[in-house]
Amino acid sequence: MTSFLSNLFGKETLSVIGIDIGSSSIKVVQLKKKGAQAILETYGELSLGPYAGVSVGQATSLPEEKITQALSDLLKEKEVNVTTRLAGIAIPYSSSLMTVVEMPVVPPKELATMIPIEARKYIPVPISEVSLDWSVIPRDTFKLDPLPEDASVQAAAPTVAPTGKMQTQDVLLVAIHNETLSRFGNIAAKNQLITSFFEIEIFSTMRAVLDQTTAPMMIFDMGAATTKLFIVERGILRVSHTINRGSQNITSAISKSFGIEVDKAEVMKRHFGLTDTTPDGVNVSKIIILTLDFLFIEANRIILAYEKKYNKNVSKVLLVGGGSSLKGIEALAQKNFQTEVYGGDPFSKVVTPAFLDEILKQTGPQFAVALGLALRRLEEQA
């Protein structure tokens, strides 16, 4: 259990929480609003490893009852001191399907009837078993005049460009299995949480760490079991890719190399990282780099493919997720990418106590999802 502050501000406004239920831990961030500012009230994290009989930092696959209990324990923890039940909860990226599809330019109502039909090509289960959402991705190569909502069926026919080719538009298609929504709904209800939305984690992360930059950038999200790569342009998700390696692979490599227990390897990884050697002179960084090199090579492959397809440079890489809190990872990533690399700093978007600046900067990358959720929930209270 880790937590760092509690009740440092008054209760002038309603407080809200963002809850990120990951594979290795649950994270919570509580905010309130004072004037135009979002203020951090408390935040905390609870490892899920002990609930599955494995070490801290290891990925788990817990049943609904165990997750419900773990969340209850975190919300009741006195050191964290959560004081509200107004919540937003993240849906894991692995529990969703996202793809960009090309559709003809038609009025919104017509598009709404076409999307479920098109979705059948990409979703391996009956459409009735999922909840669909979509968003048109603006193109910057040419401007399309919007068609009116109440356009007739005749007017809804695909628009033909002067070249004779049918005009098309990119649409981000998102699907979440209804069983997943039901599961998270049950977890929320059993903890008396008032949830107004469930949001796929990448959108929460984007809200927490992106600025007003319009140039393409990559979000490098390193979790316990997987590393997710996202390319975002003008605040819109364009590319997503998952690598089935994460920070627990580093722990496992340290454990096997030194012949030590996994929990001791986890402590060694967190304490020394890429910056120090152990008291007996062992260089842990060489073992860590082997795993990170694979991730960076794959990330560079995704970046190069995007740049070749769209003829645009990725302007920077943002590191988020628990694995991105590893000591020295930002410097190593900078050596591997042909662009600027920064650690995600979600807490920079909220008012925090000055004496916590350094620790919040270090822990920030792993709380991006929870903070992004809280920011959205806070806006709903306005």
Query: Is 219 within 8 Å of 232 (Cβ atoms)?
Result: yes
Least confident of 62-71, 159-168, 225-234, 371-380: 159-168
What's the CA gap between 250 and 325, in Å, rounded?
13
Average pLDDT over residues 331-359: 93
Q: What does the mean pLDDT of the chain come to?
A: 88
Per-residue pLDDT tens over the stretch 275-333: 766 666 677 888 999 999 999 999 999 999 999 999 999 999 999 999 999 999 999 99
Reported as a single tens digit per residue, the pLDDT across 15-24 is 999 999 999 9
Q: Give tens-digit pLDDT for 28-81.
A: 999 999 888 999 999 999 999 999 999 988 999 999 999 999 999 999 999 999
Q: Residue 156's pLDDT band (boundaries 50, 70, 90)?
A: very low
* pLDDT of amino acid 137: 85
Read off the pLDDT of each residue in 230-239 and give the average, rounded to a whole number: 91
Q: Where are the domains of the chain?
A: 95-175
Has this prediction a pTM greater than 0.85? yes
Token code pair at residue 129: 């078993």
Strands 168-177 and 227-233: unpaired
With 90 as the cut, is the pLDDT of residue 337 above it?
Answer: yes
Q: What average pLDDT does the segment 259-284 reach?
A: 83
Contact call for residues 128 and 175 (beta carbons, < 8 A): no
Q: Which of 264, 206, 204 is nearest to 21 (CA)?
A: 204
pLDDT of residue 161: 54
Class of domain 95-175: alpha beta
Decide if pLDDT at 93 tops 80: yes
Q: How confident is the model at residue 138 (pLDDT cuts 50, 70, 90)?
A: confident
User: Has residue 9 got a pLDDT over 80?
Assistant: no
Residues 209-235, mean pLDDT to the nearest whole number:
92
What is the reported pLDDT for 246? 95
pLDDT for residue 360: 92
